[in-house]
Structure formats: C-alpha cells, structure tokens
Amino acid sequence: MIEKQRVYPYIPNSDPGTREAMLRETGVRSVEELLKDIPDALRMKGKMNLPEALPAEADLKRHVEGILARNITAEECLSFLGAGCYNHHVPAAVDEIIGRSEFLTAYAGEPYEDHGRFQALFEYQSMMAELLDFEVCNVPTYDGSQAAGTSLRMASRITKRGKVLLAGNMNPDRLRVVRTYLDPVLVYEKISWSQETGLIDLDDLGSRLSSDVAAVYFENPSYLGGIEYRGEEIAGMAHEAGALLVVGVDPSSLGVIQPPSRYGADIACGDIQPLGIHMNYGGGGGGFISTKGDPVFVEEYPSRLFGIAPTSEGEWGFGDVAWERTSFANRETAKEFVGTHAALWGIAAAVYLASMGPKGMADLGEVIIQRSLYARKVMNSLPGVSTERLSNVCFKEFVADFSGTGKTVAWINSELLKRGIFGGKDLSGDFPELGQSALYCVTEKVSRQDIDRLVSVLEEIIG
C-alpha cells in the first residue's frame, strides 16, 4: 500500500520516477521510514472507507453539478427573504476582482510581496469609516454576529463592567451567536420592546441602566425592520449611566439613514454581506466594527487593523497597527482572538463601495425604501393581512401579520412556494407575540411587477 502507480494531477511528485529520485536524495527507502515516530497503535488500520474517487475532472464536474442542480435559487424564484441575509445585486466587477487568483489564493503574505491585499483592505477600512462617519474600521470578522459580540466585549473592557443590555427585538440568530461570545464572562439582560411601535421601550431601558452596565446594544433598522429614531436619547441615557452605546447597522441603509456615530454611538458594527457579497446560503457574512480613532478604543480591537506608512522611496506602505493586541502576538494575554476570517469579502465590499460611490448608496437607499413602502402598502390592502401592526417606519423589511386570514404563515409560504415565490421569514417561532407574522424583505432587485405578482398570488391563496 505504500507507493502507488497512479499519478495525481494535484500531486506532481506522485509520478514514480520523481518519487524514486526524491526518496534517494532524502536518504530513505520509503515514506514509511519517515513516519516511524507514529506508533503502530496509533496507525490507521486498513484504508479509509470513502466513496470511489472521481479522478477525471469531467466525472467530478458531472457529479458535483448534479447534486447542486437540486437547489432552486432565489434568482429562479421571487424571494422576499431577508432576516440577516440579503438578496442585493452583486456587481459583476466585484465577482471579477475577487475571482482573480492573486487575491483568491493568497493568504498571510507580508507587506512586501502582498502589498495589494494590504492596500485593498486599507481602502476597505477607509470607505467603511466614511460610510459610518467614524475613523477606524477593522479587517472583517467572521460575520455581523461576531462583530456584535466582540463590540460588546470591547465595551466591557473599556468600561470595566460586566453586564450588557440587548434590545429585545434584536435578530434572534445573532443573539444565539452573541451569547456564545458573552458566556461566561459577561451577563446580559433584554430590553423589552413595544408591540405597538416595534421599537425598544425606553422606560424599561432606563430601569435597567445601572453602574454595572457596560453597553447598550440595539440594531438600526431593527430585526423587525423599524428605524430607531431616538438614538440620541438612548445614547444620552447610556452615557449618563457610564455605559457605551453599541449599534448594529445595515450598511446598505447608510446612503439615506444617519450612521450611529451621528447620534452618539461609541461602536458601530454589522455585516458587510449586503455590500456586494452573494448570499452563499448564509456563508457570505463578514463583520465590521467601527469606532472613533481614540487609542483607548483601537487597543481593544482583536482584529487585524491595516495602517499606512511611508517607505524609504516615498511609496505608500502598509502593515499591521498595534500588532501586540492580537492573539498572533500574545497568545493567552491577547484581546480575544484573531485568525482567518473573511478578508476576501472585505475586498468585495471595497470594490462594491468604490463602484457605488456616494450617489449610488443614496440611490440604493431611496429605491429600497420606495419599493418596500409600496409593498407594505399594497399588502396591507389584502383581506386579513396587516402590515401596520407595528407602527414603525421601515427601511427594507417590515412585518406582515397574517393572523386575520385564519391561515398560518407556514401554510401560506408553502402555497407561495408552489407558485415560485419565497415568502417572508416566518416569525411565529421567535416572536410568538406577533401571532402569524412574517418578515418581508424588499431589495432594489424586487420590482413593482414582482410586488404586484406577490399580492395577486396572496389574494388567490388567502381567498
């Protein structure tokens, strides 16, 4: 079982002639001699029982594409799903750039031979900071949930306090992840939210604020779609109690909605997936954390932060700022941890933001809000359907309550699916207080015709 005769295209030295020459020059008779440190008892007995290989590329292609063909995509249907992952248009230029092998296949090169990725990610940080009106942004974390969890831990380290207050209307999937990051070092309490407005209850927030609260966290727009307009008031309350304000924000809204920095947030965080990254079945996430330039904040980031520096010949040079913070430099005394996260998505977002420009982001926000307003309006005219159960002003998502139809969201969605439509995310599991409600998402890709089709199909289903 030692040296096999098959030659593998991915393994050039598998050819027997080369193999012989290398063994000879290494001074051994077989690879076995090089493995003698591994005791017999630990050696695998026999061969792994894996399916038969598909060494010919043509066979592999047929096999894998055959499996993938069983998927039905959001492009092949009409999708109103959002809830943390968004079907925005991905500019072709983005796919072109991040598909370039110089970026795709690079890893942790140094600023001398991988200058390009340092500059591209420095530019990513720079554009994100402008969008967020802050001075610092990190190289992406795994996703918006890690960004939120880490932002809260940063706030805890800065304030030296151990409790955080989380908006009761936050994204439940994100909450599950944030809890992993808080546990067991930080405790949290949920701020209750109003079932009339869909926004958090400021009286409840006030009663929970105390000298042990490190941070207040809410999302804007909220998971239920509403735009929080009392940011300044919330920031005032948090700051008066000595806590920081951390706001999770949808970056696609920032052409038309104020960034959290403008209403007093200390840390803004979120996910860059809406900025030119395919949904990838939820694998397109990349987290951002953004703050002012105060070194007290900078020193608490666990992430890579690429900075700019002069070179001996007057070029733009780049490198890691405050490396000693990171777990690469200081294992168990680091600020949390850093590793391989989502850098390529950061480059994607850089190409996206440079393509969009200031006007593009404003246009995007405007068309989204117009079309979602339209959808909310026309859906509300359906018998038994209310999109006004929550009175909040929305950006791209809103709650549609189907309770009045006597049907469940699950049933309605299965009927929609039969007609080629992915209905909104069923909220009855995570938010039972909303009855049979669904979260509908309208991006710039959903046209008036699409919305009218949804309405006419719903009309038919609900009868």
Q: Which of residues 114-143 bind another protein (CB under 8 A)?
A: 114-117, 119-123, 125-127, 129-131, 133, 135-137, 139-140, 142-143
3-state secondary structure of 185: coil
Instruction: State which H helix or E strand residue 290 sits in.
Output: strand 287-291
Rounded-to-integer distance, Cα 327 and Cα 342, Å: 17
Q: Which of residues 190-209 bind another protein (CB under 8 A)?
A: none
CB 247 within 8 A of CB 265: yes
CB of 190 to another protein, least distance (A): 16
When binding is defined by CB under 8 A, the residue of 16, 60, 212, 383 that contacts another protein is: 60
- What region does 221 belong to: left with phi over 0, alpha with psi -120 to 50, or beta? beta
CB of 210 to another protein, least distance (A): 23
| By the rule CB under 8 A, 173 interacts with another protein | yes
CB 231 within 8 A of CB 263: yes
Q: Which of residues 326-345 bind another protein (CB under 8 A)?
A: 327-332, 334, 336-345
| By the rule CB under 8 A, 20 interacts with another protein | no
When binding is defined by CB under 8 A, the residue of 158, 170, 213, 227 that contacts another protein is: 227
What is the x/- site pattern for another protein, positions 234-253, by CB under 8 A? --------------------
| By the rule CB under 8 A, 38 interacts with another protein | yes
| By the rule CB under 8 A, 166 interacts with another protein | no
CB of 212 to another protein, least distance (A): 18
Rounded-to-integer distance, Cα 269 and Cα 143, Å: 10
| By the rule CB under 8 A, 411 interacts with another protein | no
CB of 207 or CB of 417, closer to another protein: 417
When binding is defined by CB under 8 A, the residue of 29, 62, 162, 185 that contacts another protein is: 185
| By the rule CB under 8 A, 160 interacts with another protein | no
Q: How many CB atoms lie under 10 A from the CB of residue 121?
A: 24
- The structure tokens listed for 130 are 């402008």
Q: Residue for token digits 């943390």?
A: 84
| By the rule CB under 8 A, 187 interacts with another protein | no
Number of residues that make up the chain: 463
Q: Residue for token digits 């890579």?
A: 304
CB of 74 or CB of 462, closer to another protein: 74
Beta bridge partners of 425: 439
CB of 112 or CB of 207, closer to another protein: 112
List C-alpha distances in Å: 214 to 157, 181, 297. Answer: 8, 15, 14
| By the rule CB under 8 A, 413 interacts with another protein | yes
| By the rule CB under 8 A, 71 interacts with another protein | yes
| Cis amide prior to 302 (ω within 30 degrees) | no
